[in-house]
Structure formats: structure tokens, C-alpha cells
Amino acid sequence: MTSALIWDDGQLKYDFGPQHPLKPVRVELTVSLIRATGLSTAQGVIELPREPFGTDEVLRLHREDYVEAVQRHSASPDLGGDLRYGLGAGDNPVFPGMHDAGLEVCGASVAAAKAVWEGRAIHAFNPAGGLHHAMPDRASGFCIYNDPAFAIDWLLRHGATRVAYLDVDTHHGDGVQSMFYQDPRVLTMSLHESGRYLFPGTGFTEEIGFGDAAGTSLNVPLAPTTPGEVWFGAFDEVVPAALDAFQPQVLVSQLGCDTHATDPLAHLALTTDDYLELAPRIHRLAHDHADGRWVAMGGGGYQIASVVPRAWTIFFAELAHSRVPTEIPWGWLAEAEEVARTHRMDVPPTTFADGPVRLSPDRLEVARREATGAVEALKRSAFHLLERW
């Protein structure tokens, strides 16, 4: 029951600059915490490098003129970007080496998919991945190239006929949905803050796939301040039934932790206590519905020291058939506190668990009502198509 961490030591190149919220240090802190807790050397855990991934590969899913624009601005960032391709805006500022940096992230997610499909690992995790907003013809939402889509594409090209993608980021997984919206071999499921309130403004219950793929795109939009207890109610109504009907050979998951109540860019109200519950839920689903094959990536999360490393270490512990300790190792805390001071962000707590979020009865009722309405609408729009699968 080997589990793989996909990681190459060395500074991450996917870096939009010091003022941008997607800071690579959050991934470096995650790997540091995984190692500090002893998970990287636990029995059955291996570290694997990313796979080679070049321009020919990225052209499988991204349009040639877009890739050429990324290459051009990667070589000459002083050009300032090209808004036709989503480059140079506040979300996606161009930077030197951007093209190669995006390829490296894709290569790491492909390495996770390859390790699982070829049987070298039953589970694999790329913490630097999860760039789920990138579209075939443009950058979007901090995402240049869509590494989850390339992991799925690799699986389909190497023998998989049914792949399920589960996205728990607070933002809708619109890029992955778009790339497989007409492909009946891929089931995409996304639970997220409603597009009525949050970028990218999509992910509604009527978005169910097209043609032969109708019913293979499932979205659960949720109200701001939705807490874990309501979030799990929606999850349990949709995800197990969809997987039971689809019967995938592999489960691919994007584990964005910007659902956290303190995240500065979004408004859901989950905590690390909820991630401690969610991780074994997804693990069980992988074994119940995909012969245990679980490919995981990081994603959103903008509390770079106080939340992201704890959240993804919790998930990796589950991937590694282990558990996190109650307390954060002191040596790691000193490192994380220095990063937090440098970036003027919250310092991490001393424990992995947060404790519950408390909402007013009125706010909780709104969250429940919207979640129930979303689930019922999704069942009406898509669940009658489950039998076709």
C-alpha cells in the first residue's frame, strides 16, 4: 500500500511575485511540515520526482496561439502581458520562465497519475498542483496550464476508461469541467461557494455536461459562511451516489483549502477539524469506488502559514495511511512563524485542529436552505441521467 509524495527539492518556479496571494512558500512549508511530522519517512511512503512534460504535451489541451503567447511573455515579461489570453491582469501577472514553471507543475501531476495507474503507489499527492481554472485558450484565476486536466488526460491515454474528478476548492473547478464537458469518460464534481458571490461566476446546478456526457458534470454551489456540518450534508447527498453510479477506475481530487473560515479570498466556514473528517471520507470513497486509486493535488489556500500546511499535511497523512499528531512540531512552528511575520499573515496555531466555527442561527439556516436547494436542483437536473452511466 505504497503512497507517493511528488516533490523535487529546490525553489518552486511557479511564482507571480511577492505581492501575489499564490505564494510558493505555502507549498514549501507544507512539504516541510510533512517531513517534520515523520510522514515522508513512514512505512510505505516514497518521494517521486515530476515527469518530463514539454510543449508538445501541453498542446494536447491548450490552444497553440495561447501557448505561444505564454512562451512569448515568459521570455519577455517586460511586454506586459496580453489580456486576450488572460495574461498580465491582476490575477495572472507575467513572470520570467512562466512557461517552464507551468510545465513543471503539470509534470508533477502527471507523475502522480502515472505512479497510481502503473501500480507503483496506491495514492499519490502533488501539493504544488491543482491549477484548475486554466482554460484551453487563456490563463485564469492564478492558473496558466491546467495540471489536473493533464493528469486525467494521461490516465485516459494509458488505458483508463472512467475517471472521476472531485474538486473541494472554494472556487468552482471551471477549467477542468470545461475541458471534459463533452467527454463521457470523465465525471467532474465540484462543491464550492456559489458563483453568485465568488469567482469564477460559474458552477451552477444546470451545468451537467453536454451530449453523450450529459450527467457527468455535477456542481453544488453553496452560500457564503457555509460551515462544515452543512457542507458535509451536501457532499454526502451527491458524491457517494455519483461515484456508485459512475464506477470510476481512478479518483482524482483537487484539495483546495481556501474553504477555511479565515481564508482572505473567500467566504466559506470550514476548519481543519473538517479536513480531518474529509480526508478519510475521500479515502474510503477511493477504495469503495476506484479500487483505492487516489490521485491528489493541492489547489487554493491563501493563509500560507496558518492553514495551508496543516490542511495538506492532514490530507497527506490520510494518503499515507497514517495520522497527524495532536500538536505541531515545535521546530516547524519556528520556521512558519518567521514566514508569517515576513508576509504579515497569521502565525500558525500549535495544534492541527482548530475547534468549531460558531454561526448565528439565522446565518446557519440560510446556509442550510441554500445547500438543500442546490442538492435538490442538482438531483432534478442530473441524477435521472445516472442510470445511463
User: Measured at the alpha carbon of residue 35, what is the angle toward residues 31 and 38, in degrees to the nearest 5?
Assistant: 145
Span 350-361, average pLDDT: 94
Residue 387: is its pLDDT beyond 80? Answer: no
Can you say whether the dihedral through the CA atoms of 284, 287, 290, 293 is positive or negative?
A: positive
Q: DSSP code of 26?
A: H
Comparing 1-15, 21-35, 206-220, 367-381, which segment has the lowest mean pLDDT?
Answer: 1-15
**CB 342, CB 348: distance < 8 Å:** no
Closest Cα to residue 41, out of 322, 242, 273?
A: 322
Give residue 389's pLDDT.
65
**Domain boundaries of the chain, sorted by first residue:** 3-388
Task: Place 162 in a pLDDT band, splitting at 50, 70 and 90.
Answer: very high
Regarding the domain with residue range 3-388, which homologous superfamily does it belong to in the CATH classification? Answer: Histone deacetylase domain (3.40.800.20)
Instruction: Work out the mean pLDDT of the chain and round it to a whole number.
Output: 96
Task: Place 11 in a pLDDT band, splitting at 50, 70 and 90.
Answer: confident
Give residue 356's pLDDT.
87
Residue range 260-319, pLDDT digits in tens: 999 999 999 999 999 999 999 999 999 999 999 999 999 999 999 999 999 999 999 999
Span 313-338, average pLDDT: 96
- Residues 133, 172, 192, 289: which is the catalytic one? 133
Task: Place 155 in a pLDDT band, splitting at 50, 70 and 90.
Answer: very high
Task: Place 386 in a pLDDT band, splitting at 50, 70 and 90.
Answer: confident
User: Measured at the alpha carbon of residue 329, what is the angle toward residues 321 and 125, in degrees to the nearest 5?
Assistant: 35
Distance CA 228, CA 239 (A): 15
Distance CA 385, CA 389 (A): 7
What is the layout of strands, in order, in the sheet containing 45-48? 45-48, 3-6, 123-126, 294-297, 250-254, 163-167, 186-193, 217-222
Give residue 346's pLDDT.
87
**Backbone Cα Rg of the chain:** 19
Distance CA 186, CA 180 (A): 6
Q: Which amino acid is at 154?
A: W
Task: Place 344 in a pLDDT band, splitting at 50, 70 and 90.
Answer: confident
High-pLDDT (> 70) share of the chain, %: 99
Give, in order, the Cα–Cα distances in Å from 256 to each of 230, 303, 305, 315, 349: 18, 12, 15, 11, 20
Distance CA 253, CA 12 (A): 22
Closest Cα to residue 239, out of 255, 219, 257?
A: 219
Question: What region, left, alpha or beta, does residue 239 occupy, with left being phi > 0 and alpha being psi -120 to 50 degrees?
Answer: alpha
Our answer to whether residue 384 is catalytic in this structure is: no
Give residue 388's pLDDT.
67
Distance CA 129, CA 139 (A): 15
Task: Place 211 in a pLDDT band, splitting at 50, 70 and 90.
Answer: very high
Give residue 186's pLDDT.
98
Question: Containing H/E element for 311?
Answer: helix 308-319
Which residue carries 482572505 as its cell? Answer: 264
Across the strands, what pairs with 260?
270
Cell of 76: 519577455
Burial letters 249-282, b for 16+ CB under 10 A, else e: bbbbbbbbbbbbbebebbbbbbbbbbbbebbeeb
Residue range 114-140, pLDDT digits in tens: 999 999 999 999 999 999 999 999 999
Burial (CB count within 10 angstroms: exposed 0-12, middle 13-18, buried 19+), residue 380: exposed
Residue range 23-70, pLDDT digits in tens: 999 999 999 999 999 999 999 999 999 999 999 999 999 999 999 999
